[in-house]
Structure 1
Amino acid sequence: MSGPNRVLFDAPGPRARRRIRLATLLSVLLIAGLLALGLHQLARHGQLDRARWQPFGQWPYQRFLLQGLVRTLKAAGVAALLALPAGALLALGRLSPHRLTRLAAGGFVELFRSVPLLLVLYVFLMGIPRAGYTFPVFWELVIPVVLCTSALLAEVFRAGVLALDRGQSEAAHALGLSRRQVMRLVVLPQAVRLVVPTLVSQLVSLLKDTTLGYVVSYPELLNQGKVLGSYTHDFLQSYLTVTVVYIVANAALSQLAEALERRGRRRPAAGTPGTAGGASGVAPRLPGPREPKAAGGAGAEPLRPV
């Protein structure tokens, strides 16, 4: 049983569906058993005692973690605001008709796509200060994140541009628009609309990249959790609390990406019913050229010279 949506494999038959349900059931039971075993071991060692969790319900502890969350969101927000336009410019550079521009943009993208973010952080922490240049702690985290993230976003933007039909840009050129006008007015708006869900998903990774702020001693959320664990000597409780906060923040961004994707799907394309030609989607019938009536007939119009 195959169809247009069954590209990689056919739909499973009755026996295969029974095997899939059985494997799913066994997997759920195995995971539940491992979780129960883990909770049992934690309870045996007193890690689930109420006294260990009670401090994290008090406002001073919550405010301490909240301050770390605010710094994390600040670093991620500034990095996103800088990385998005930088990625778009790099994508345009890779699509430029000039060879030197393509080579420069491509070299930057390939370099920072290949180098780990942690290594770039160490360069800004220990390498650049030896040359006599120093940055504030905030920018020692943000600049490496921007460099690595912009390289990834450049490929996302470039994929969105290449995914568009070439007929649109050719039609725009036929109307007399320059290359810059075509890219700015026709190509980029549609490419951004195509890759918005991917961009938001990339922001989730950017938010997680800020956890490397401990390298430069930036007091982000994970670093605050580490300090709080050292103070209370309850590292497990502290890190689990931080984990829950990260899960909530990333889930919110993921929901935003899904909402934007659904909105893009609901938006009708040009030429579909309900867009042109009224609510019924039927284009109005245009009047054709007038035909002269029969010669000598009633109301016949005289022929005029062209």
Structure 2
Amino acid sequence: MSSSVLYDAQGPRAKRRNVVYTVVFVLALAALLWWVYRSLSDKGQLDWEKWKPFFSGSEAWTTYILPGLKNTLIAAAVSMLIALPLGAVFGIARLSDHVWVRVPAAVVVEFFRAIPVLILMIFGNALFSQYTSVSSDDRPLYAVVTGLVLYNASVLAEIVRAGILALPKGQTEAAQAIGLRKTQTMTSILLPQAVTAMLPAIVSQLVVIVKDTALGGAILTFPELLAAVSPMSSYYGANTIASFTIVALIFVVLNFSLTSFASWLERRLRRGKKSTGAVLAPAAVGGTESAGTAA
């Protein structure tokens, strides 16, 4: 019986017990799926008439889904474009040697990171309603973007700070040894190396931004993708399950595409870093060896 550093190899009794657990779990899952199927079928939610609008004709897409998807993408894209650089600025500011920079940045980050994004959206909506001339049609979009930017920029700031602090101290010490200022060290040495390590966490936060746009539709009547379910379901005869399923699949495709792009970008960055070493010509190497021998 072999063993590993991480775990002990299972004996015959443990293997039989795990087989039994697996069979019981599969049977319980199958029973649950069958119950869900029968419940939906008995209520008519699996009838073709409920699903027909999405597969035979474009009315449901052009009237409800695509306009909602457009608003979701606009809100998410604007929030990302503002939150990413803002989070980087506050994350770097928290690492400043100057107290008058570091402390205010820490207060701002911790404050907005502790408040639920929904409250920030509601606050933004009230702010734009009372103190600005933004029209009532555009106000929900402004409020959603404001809430997403304030919350996610503070979270991204912590991701940036943690990514930079995770680098070996030797990187900073080597930069100081060759006379680089702290700004040069940050922009030329630390940030380029930290971006690759931070990329998975950053992408996870971008996925959160895409999903949190739905909060604006639920509370602020922002006409995003999820908000299209209610009028669409009412128009097509209470096909709630079908409408939610289609919208959920669209969110899955969006977030999976974003994650896949980030994975491709991370691999490309890693390959680029591996190929940036300087290559010396054979003559230069030979000249160096000859000089060393002569010395």
Q: Deviations over 1:41-84 (max 9, x none)?
A: 11112111111211222201012201211211111111111111
Task: Quote the Cα distance in structure 2 between the aligned partners of 1:113 and 1:82.
Answer: 16
> Is 1:220–2:218 an aligned residue pair?
no
Cα distance in 2 for partners of 1:45, 1:223 equals 24
Match of 1:93 in 2: 93
Is 1:62 the counterpart of 2:61? The answer is yes
Q: Where in structure 1 are there 5+ consecutive unaligned residues?
A: 293-306
Q: Following TM superposition, by how much is the alpha carbon of 1:33 offset from its aligned partner in structure 2, in angstroms?
A: 1.8
Q: CA deviation at 1:178?
A: 1.0
1:13-42 Cα shifts (integer Å, max 9, x gaps): 345455445434433332222111111111
Q: Residue in 2 aligned with 1:252?
A: 257
**TM-score for the superposition, normalised by structure 1:** 0.82
Deviation by residue 1:173-205 (Cα, 9 ceiling, x = unmatched): 111111111111111111112111221121111
Q: 1:224 is aligned with what amino acid?
A: A
- Give the whole-Å Cα distance in 2 for the aligned partners of 1:14 and 1:150: 51
Question: Counterparts of 1:24 and 1:252 in 2: how far apart (Å)?
Answer: 33
Q: Distance in 2 between matches of 1:263 and 1:31?
A: 40
What SS is found at the alignment partner of 2:46? coil
SS in 1 for 2:244: helix
Match of 2:243 in 1: 238
Question: Percent sequence identity over matched residues?
Answer: 37
Aligned amino acid, residue 132 of structure 2: Y
Q: Deviations over 1:219-262 (max 9, x none)?
A: 11001122212322322221121111111212222323333444
| 1:201–1:253 contact (8 Å) kept in structure 2 | no
Query: Does the CA-based 8 Å contact 2:167-2:194 persist in structure 1?
Result: yes
Matches within 5 A, 1:277-296: 284=285, 286-287=288-289, 288-291=291-294
Any residues of structure 2 matched to 1:150-165 within 5 Å, and which?
150-165=153-168
Among 50, 53, 67, the residue aligned to 2:51: 53
Q: How does 1:1-306 map to 2 (within 5 A)?
A: 1-3=3-5, 6=6, 10-15=7-12, 16=14, 19-57=17-55, 58-63=57-62, 64-126=64-126, 129-130=129-130, 132-133=131-132, 135=134, 136-137=138-139, 138-214=141-217, 215-232=219-236, 233-263=238-268, 269=274, 284=285, 286-287=288-289, 288-291=291-294
* C-alpha contact 1:221 1:242 (8 A) present in aligned 2: yes
1:263 to partner: Cα distance: 4.4
The amino acid that maps onto 1:237 is A
Give the number of the structure with larger relative contact order, counting CA–CA contacts within 8 Å between residues 6 or more apart.
2
> Any stretches of 5+ residues in structure 2 without a counterpart?
none
Q: In the alignment, which residue of structure 2 is the partner of 1:302? A: none
Q: How many equivalent pairs are there?
A: 280
Taking structure 1 as reference, are residues 255 and 28 closer, same or farther at Cα in structure 2, changes over 3 Å only?
farther
Give the conservation status (yes or no) of the 8 Å contact 1:198–1:257: no
Larger radius of gyration: 1
Counterparts of 2:24 and 2:155, CA distance in 1: 38
Distance 1:169 1:248, change over 3 A: same
Aligned residues of 1:112 and 1:147 also touching (Cα < 8 A): yes
The verdict on how the C-alpha distance between 1:197 and 1:263 changes in structure 2, with shifts beyond 3 A counting, is farther
1: CA distance, partners of 2:193 / 2:80: 20
Q: CA deviation at 1:11?
A: 5.0
Superposition RMSD on alpha carbons, in Å?
2.6
Quick check: 1:113–1:151 contact (8 Å CA) kept in 2?
yes
Q: Distance in 1 between matches of 2:273 and 2:122?
A: 48
